[in-house]
Amino acid sequence: MTRLTRAEQQQRTHEHLLDAGREVFLRRGFLMATVEEIAADAGYTRGAVYKHFGGKEGLWLAIIEATTEAHLQGLRKALDHATTRDQLIAALAPIDPADKDAAKWSAAAAEVLAATAQQPETATLIAAIQRRHDDEVVALLSEHSRRLHLEPAMPLHQAVIMLGALGIGLALRRTVAPAGDPAAILTHVLDSVFPPATGPSPRTRVPESGL
């Protein structure tokens, strides 16, 4: 069995704590989750959480950064393969009604926002991650809207903020009122944001005059 280097051991610990953090935040929510429970799930002491992340808030930030990057990678791939307006919209509305974790994660995210409202430093870090994510999405949508000859009905930076808030709101609503079809709602909104392309009207052919 190959012996891990110290750096490899540290990386493995880091990844185990990230995985355990995700599971505990989903299971308990952000406010009820404790550093002790996260460390125990990962098989370490609470000191490992503080050493790698500085505490529960730092662990949450690290998870959000990793999740954000994974989302961007998936979105880039989906948009690269989109050849129609409908495929672009489908890439932006990947809500799965069977995905229970999405609602739980949105509920935990809402707890974080409420808990950090009085912590300017943490709130600033969360806002920076969100801003980088939104800027990347706007850039992707600008590129692929041009490629597919689509004219968004509103500025893309506003559309991205609106769609993000709507997605979180729909996921939260599912935790208390699961009726309805959030994917259909989001798709309907996206239909309005990205109306069908309207090309120039075909020219009327003028018959040639006979000589």
Same structural domain for residues 50 and 61? no
Cα–Cα distance, 25 to 44 (Å, whole number): 17
Exposure class string for 12-35: b at 16+ Cβ within 10 A, else e: ebbebbbebbbbbbbeebbeebeb
Judge whether 198 lies within some domain: no
Same structural domain for residues 38 and 73? no
Q: pTM of the predicted model, to two decimals?
A: 0.82
Same structural domain for residues 163 and 180? yes
Read off the CATH number of the domain in which 19 is found: 1.10.10.60
- Sequential pLDDT tens for the chain (211 residues): 578 788 889 999 999 999 999 999 999 999 999 999 999 999 999 999 999 999 999 999 999 999 999 999 999 999 999 999 999 999 998 766 556 787 788 888 888 888 887 888 888 999 999 999 999 999 999 999 999 999 999 999 999 999 988 888 887 777 777 666 777 888 899 999 999 976 554 444 444 444 3
Contacts of residue 30, Cβ cutoff 8 Å, sequence gap at least 6: 56, 60, 108, 109, 111, 112, 115
Cα–Cα distance, 101 to 22 (Å, whole number): 10
